[in-house]
Amino acid sequence: MSGIVRYEGAPFVARFGWYAGELMEKFVKSLAEKKLLATRCPKCGYTIVPPRIRCVKCYTKLGEENLVELSGKGKLLSYTVVHTIPDGKGGFTDLDKPVLLGAIKLDEADSTIFAVLGEVEPEKLVEGLEVQVVWREETKGELADIAYFKPVG
């Protein structure tokens, strides 16, 4: 997990920095309505977030008709504490406050996302912990609309 140290506002961005065309655009725009979209393959059922234009398992072409809305709940698979961010010059800068970064399997999806964890102490983090998305106050249709994930309840 120590390999995930790129931090650009949301690690989500670092992990999914590629452009996947219309579906990715739709995914990002839907964040303004506090919706998390995924694509579900009609052939094998593999569900991936953010949406992709081809199934990663069976390469079936996917389109808007294959978009499904997720609940925003998931389970923590693992986490890491991030203390530094790249300074853009090949080195690292210390963060004022360490950031908890979780690998989360969203309930209705098969893929894993990486997101900041909030409202939780590192000691409370265990594998399988149920978490849910927390949206920033004013959503704008940007990846940063996903503020962080927090434990359910």
Q: In angstroms, what is the minimal distance from the CB of 48 to Zn ion?
A: 9
Q: Do 73 and 107 touch, CB atoms closer than 8 A?
A: yes
User: What mask of x and - would describe binding to Zn ion in positions 31 to 70, judged by CB under 5 A?
Assistant: ----------x-xx-x--------x-xx-x----------
Q: Which is nearer to Zn ion, 46 or 79 (CB)?
A: 46
Q: In angstroms, what is the minimal distance from the CB of 65 to Zn ion?
A: 14
Q: In angstroms, what is the minimal distance from the CB of 115 to Zn ion?
A: 25
Exposure on the CB side of residue 37, measured as CA atoms within 13 A: 23
Q: Which residues are within 8 A (CB) of 143 and not within 5 positions of it... i.e. 6 or more apart?
A: 9, 10, 12, 13, 16, 28, 31
How do beta strands 130-135 and 47-48 pair? unpaired
Q: Which is nearer to Zn ion, 4 or 44 (CB)?
A: 44
Q: What are the residues binding Zn ion (CB under 5 A)? A: 41, 43-44, 46, 55, 57-58, 60
